[in-house]
Structure 1
Amino acid sequence: MSTEIKVLMVGPDRGVHGGISAVVNELYAAGFDQEVSLKYIGTMKEGSKLRKLLVAAFAYCRFVKELSWCDVVHIHFSSDSSFMRKSFFIKRARKSGKKIVLHQHGGDFKTYFNEQLSDAKRDYVRNILDMGDVMLVLTKGWKDFFGQITDPDKIEVFPNSIRVADCHVQGEKDYNKVLFLGRICRDKGIDELLEAMKQIYSVNKDAHLYLGGIYEDSEYKEKVENCSDFVTYLGWINGEEKNKYLDECGVLVLPSYYEGFPVSIIEALLHKCVVAASAVGGIPEIIDDGIDGILFKPKDKNAVKNALEKAMSDKEKALSMGEMGQKKVVEKYSVEANIRRLLEIYKKIL
């Protein structure tokens, strides 16, 4: 192992169900911890507010203890409480004179910054972001946004990525099978998705939705159970089980109200799924509408229905989209390439 660069990385616990944890786990799986000397501190676990508070407090104490060891502090955050929680780590790292990589993961930061914060809190956010030596964002759109808040010259577009070398799609896809991966809640567009599938099922009894995720809002458990004729709840799926459904299902749907850069989309593209997704956040920078996926307006059940029917009805076009999508991921979203680039970023700021 090279110990030339010692990296203290901070983010949610690696067992948390979410996008940042998925990104971090991909880095580990691709051998990032063999390229640098890496210590990871999880600042958040799922559970009660008390549990989250205790985890954050313990993580901060460990962080302070490990600061003298590292060369670089790499901090992952999204918005809302995630950003505020990480701001204490950023301030302490700056006070200790450490080089800081801020890694922003999208989410609803625009609404958070523009609509939910007071002027004083916005000034606080600017001050925290100014403490970073480099800031990684998921898309050009996020670079343009954050370039109005902090120094644009230190912002680099750094999209999420996955391992691409070992993917071999097994079997023939069924384009009547639709897969959803993510948190099951209002903001993920679950209401519109269930209504769209209900309408599709009324005329196509082969149509079926597979929900891979956790119930963030408990009310959706009953809603999903009431749709059992055309919906199967899988729970949170990983590894070979997830690959099985990505191979079998012809369509990956993501009707979110907001997003950063969903790992589930590039996973689905790698497995030659047709991706039908709302045109929000970084998704339009991943999907070329009509070429390697289908984009639609968020919060519109008819738009979801039309997109799914389009994917289901034209197998030849769906196969073409699948081929184009896989080609794009291999060329642009390889975690191996991202690791090489991350090493260069570290070297540049040291």
Structure 2
Amino acid sequence: MNSQKNKVTKVLMVGSSLRVKGGMTTVVESFLHHKFDKNIELKYVSTHIDTKNQIFKKIYFLISLINICIQLCFGRVKIVHMHMSERGSFRRKFIIFRLAKFFDKQVITHTHGAEFESYFKYSNNKTQIKIKKLLKDSDVVITLGETWNKIIKNIEQEANTFILRNSVPIPPKENTINNEKIKILFLAVLIERKGIIDLIEASNKIIKEVEKNRKQVEFIIAGEGELLVSSKVLVKKLKLDKYFNFVGWVNNEQKHQLLQDTDLFILPSYNEGLPLSILEAISYGIPIISTNVGSINEAVKNGENGYLITPGDKEILADYTIKLINEINFYDMGKTSRLIAKEFFDIDNYFKKVENLYFRLEEAKRGDR
């Protein structure tokens, strides 16, 4: 019985509270809901909560650190799997990284931050040294795609990187594209980086050109954030109220209902890793208009299942959206999206890679002994 217990690979996963909205939380939830191999035990400790009360944030992190120390001392933990973005997330994970190494644990740093490259570039020398140390001394640094792998390697060439593209469950049924009454979905936090204002400003031209071909269009905006009020004001100013439906933040069930009813997905971001929202959209067989940032080009093939544009170019955003709706067969592009999702972003294959990574690290640790 004891020998069997010793064979169990216990993983301590750390990241933000599951109440924090965003793609990283969705990834964490997928880990927590997955049924891992019986020889893998996963325990999750959240280290950050979304609140403006800085004192409460620090107390929350301190309590989390105490919990982590207990797990490292007495919990038979072998691997610490950290979900990390930039700024405060990095600072918290650096402390946890040092703790894990002090207790001789293996560390996986799972990078998510869309602005990590610029965070490193504009940090002071002391912070840059810490970033490079974490990347170099982590046993594995998970990156979300080829582009982000190069970015991490440019920061620290000795980082032991491992490409693990975000993945999603493939729904049993793909969408039937409605080429006459087109529903366009924007699904993201309403902040400047996601390009919501660009989409609204480009929409006037899109609507006029689409209606010339006797088609109807509706923009569904799913998300909350600091630009929610100004987005609504802008829509009203442009007299486009009847074309926009702001549905707020949606839960998982509501999100998948929206995706089932979507004909075109638009995300004109300025920075990204590999957005889960795009992967979810292509899994339903939805064409995509997005920007050529991060690793989006691994999910959106220009001219095959959508178009990639330069961030901030509202004219091109409008033109390519019109082109896709009026000149390209929606159905064929949707089919290609679905095929890409199945081949490269199926969550079943994703977790096989994760389990193999855990076992490989455990075997390497045993070999060192």
Q: TM-score range by the shorter chain?
A: over 0.9
Deviation string, structure 1 residues 20-70 (Cα, Å, up to 9, x no partner): 111111233332486621111112222214243332222222111111311
Give the letter aligned to residue 321 of structure 2. Answer: L
Q: Is the 8 A contact 1:276 1:295 kept in 2?
A: yes
Q: Is the 8 A contact 2:235 2:241 kept in 1?
A: yes
Q: Is the 8 A contact 1:91 1:131 kept in 2?
A: no
Q: Is the 8 A contact 1:177 1:248 kept in 2?
A: yes
Distance 2:346 2:30 in 1: 10
From 322, 337, 360, give the equivalent of 1:348: 360
1:322 paired residue number: 334
Distance 1:336 1:29 in 2: 12
Q: Is the 8 A contact 1:136 1:156 kept in 2?
A: yes
1:163 paired residue number: 169
Distance 1:45 1:273 in 2: 33
SS of 1:207's equivalent in the other structure is strand
Q: Is the 8 A contact 1:224 1:233 kept in 2?
A: no
Q: Is the 8 A contact 1:173 1:248 kept in 2?
A: no
From 289, 292, 304, give the equivalent of 1:279: 292
Matches within 5 A, 1:45-64: 45-50=49-54, 51-64=56-69
SS of 2:254's equivalent in the other structure is helix
Deviation string, structure 1 residues 128-162 (Cα, Å, up to 9, x no partner): 22221111101112222222333546111111011
Give the letter aligned to residue 355 of structure 2. Answer: L
Q: Is the 8 A contact 2:152 2:159 kept in 1?
A: no
Distance 2:25 2:178 in 1: 28
SS of 2:21's equivalent in the other structure is coil
1:260 paired residue number: 273
Distance 2:235 2:344 in 1: 39
Distance 2:146 2:325 in 1: 32
Q: 1:46 to 1:336 in 2, by over 3 A?
A: same
- Give yes or no for the alignment of 1:304 onto 2:317: yes
> TM-score scaled by structure 1?
0.92
Matches within 5 A, 1:1-350: 4-32=8-36, 36-50=40-54, 51-68=56-73, 69=75, 70-114=77-121, 116-152=122-158, 154-164=160-170, 166-169=171-174, 172-173=177-178, 176-204=182-210, 206-217=216-227, 219-220=229-230, 222-223=232-233, 226=236, 227-314=240-327, 316=329, 318-350=330-362
CA root-mean-square deviation: 2.2
Q: CA deviation at 1:304?
A: 1.4
Gaps of 5+ in 2: 363-369
Gaps of 5+ in 1: none
Task: Decide which moves more: 49-58 or 251-260.
Answer: 49-58
Q: CA deviation at 1:123?
A: 1.0
Q: Is the 8 A contact 2:138 2:159 kept in 1?
A: no
Q: Is the 8 A contact 2:196 2:231 kept in 1?
A: no
Q: Is the 8 A contact 2:184 2:265 kept in 1?
A: yes
Q: Is the 8 A contact 2:48 2:61 kept in 1?
A: yes
Q: 1:9 to 1:224 in 2, by over 3 A?
A: farther
Give the letter aligned to residue 60 of structure 1. Answer: L
Q: CA deviation at 1:264?
A: 0.6
Q: Is the 8 A contact 2:224 2:249 kept in 1?
A: yes
Give the letter aligned to residue 343 of structure 1. Answer: E
Distance 1:328 1:306 in 2: 24
Q: CA deviation at 1:176?
A: 2.1
Give the letter aligned to residue 134 of structure 1. Answer: V
2:367 paired residue number: none
Distance 1:124 1:62 in 2: 24
Distance 1:49 1:225 in 2: 32
Q: Which has the larger radius of gyration?
A: 2
Q: Is the 8 A contact 2:86 2:115 kept in 1?
A: yes
Q: 1:224 to 1:210 in 2, by over 3 A?
A: farther
Distance 2:278 2:161 in 1: 24
SS of 1:54's equivalent in the other structure is helix
Q: 1:190 to 1:11 in 2, by over 3 A?
A: same
Deviation string, structure 1 residues 305-330 (Cα, Å, up to 9, x no partner): 112212221362x2111111111111
